[in-house]
Amino acid sequence: MKTILLTISIFLSFLTIVYADSPTTGNSEDLRLYMLDCGSVTVHDMASFSDTGAYPHESMQLSTPCFLIKDPKGWLLWDLGMGDQYLGHTVEDKKHDVSITVKKSLIQQLKSLGLSPKDIKFVGLSHTHFDHMGNVSLFPNAIWLIEKSEYAYTKQTPLASSLDATEVAMLQHDHKILLKGDYDVFGDGKVEILSTPGHTPGHTSLEVHLPHTGVVILSGDLYHTRKAYELKLIPPFNTDRAQTQASMAKIDAILKDSNGRLVIEHDTDDIKALPQFPNYLN
Ligand SMILES: [Zn+2]
């Protein structure tokens, strides 16, 4: 009798463990936002980032993070940073007048969560500039989420100078969903790609509704710095000034309605203020 009871007890505890670990429970408490270190660039002359001359001719370090969203329905990686090929050595990029530094491998950071690239279900890109596409070759099995107009931008001849021909060529061969406007990634309103064009034709931002933190918006390159946010600065290399202003107004309205938190991806203070990996917001 004792043996039977012990067997039943072990069986029940096994069921409990299976239930707790099941990825299909759909519990929104499981929604997490990780910030991964995917490098940084030092821009040698920030004056080129404002069409009203708001920045002095000074250098500035800009972070180039990746973000990982854990949802009960799968993993979403948002933006890809500079690329693991730069790991361990600073590289002068004369074409873009920046120095590139990558101290941590994206692959290794995923590995520390028990993930490999094949576990990433979706990769979303705020846009296709080189500093957001660096690890593009690592995820051949993921479904790419990219604005239709951004994809068309990668096909233009000649290619815009901030795009890397090898990187954007990777997008042609992968599984992808071409978005037209805002897109609810998991179908439950918790993770939404927002159309915020202007920096590039199909630039997007990511809105995440976390169970404890509330709304967080990752704004891609809608802004490059906090100063840009406060003064509504627009780089002269943006593809459309009026669209940029409309996108800024759209994000401001969402932040106001939701009392949300804005994360400016290139702003090193915004990035330092986030939980440092493997810690996360939820
Ligand atoms: Zn950028």
For the chain, what are the domain ranges?
29-272
Residues 98, 44 contacting (CB under 8 angstroms)? yes
For residue 171, the CA-to-ligand 1 centroid distance in Å is 18
pLDDT at 38: 98
pLDDT tens across 120-134, in order?
A: 999 999 999 999 999
Q: How far apart are CA 23 and CA 153, in angstroms?
A: 37
pLDDT at 22: 38
Q: CB-based burial of residue 54 (10 Å sphere; 0-12 exposed, 13-18 middle, 19+ buried)?
A: middle
For residue 24, the CA-to-ligand 1 centroid distance in Å is 35
pLDDT tier, 268 (very low <50, low <70, confident <90, very high otherwise): very high
Candidates 197, 205, 182, 193; CA nearest to 149 is 197
For residue 199, the CA-to-ligand 1 centroid distance in Å is 10
What average pLDDT score do residues 202-216 get? 98
The pTM assigned to this predicted structure is 0.89
For residue 40, the CA-to-ligand 1 centroid distance in Å is 10
For residue 220, the CA-to-ligand 1 centroid distance in Å is 7
Q: How far apart are CA 84 and CA 82, in angstroms?
A: 7
For residue 237, the CA-to-ligand 1 centroid distance in Å is 12
pLDDT at 27: 67
Share of the chain above pLDDT 70, in %: 90
pLDDT tens across 32-69, in order?
A: 999 999 999 999 999 999 999 999 999 999 999 999 99
On the question of pLDDT at 222 being above 90, the answer is yes
pLDDT at 26: 54
- Rounded to 10 degrees, the C-alpha dihedral 21/24/25/30 comes to 70
- Phi and psi at residue 51, in whole multiples of 5°? -85, 5
For residue 154, the CA-to-ligand 1 centroid distance in Å is 16
On the question of pLDDT at 15 being above 50, the answer is no
For residue 163, the CA-to-ligand 1 centroid distance in Å is 11
Q: Which CATH superfamily is 29-272 part of?
A: Ribonuclease Z/Hydroxyacylglutathione hydrolase-like (3.60.15.10)
DSSP code string of 16-71: HHHHHH-TTS--GGG-EEEEE---EEEES-GGGG-TT--S-S--EEEE--EEEEEE
pLDDT at 235: 98
Q: How far apart are CA 279 and CA 282, in angstroms?
A: 10
pLDDT tens across 142-170, in order?
A: 999 999 999 999 999 999 999 999 999 99
For residue 62, the CA-to-ligand 1 centroid distance in Å is 8
pLDDT tier, 29 (very low <50, low <70, confident <90, very high otherwise): confident
pLDDT at 173: 80
For residue 205, the CA-to-ligand 1 centroid distance in Å is 12
For residue 131, the CA-to-ligand 1 centroid distance in Å is 5
For residue 194, the CA-to-ligand 1 centroid distance in Å is 17
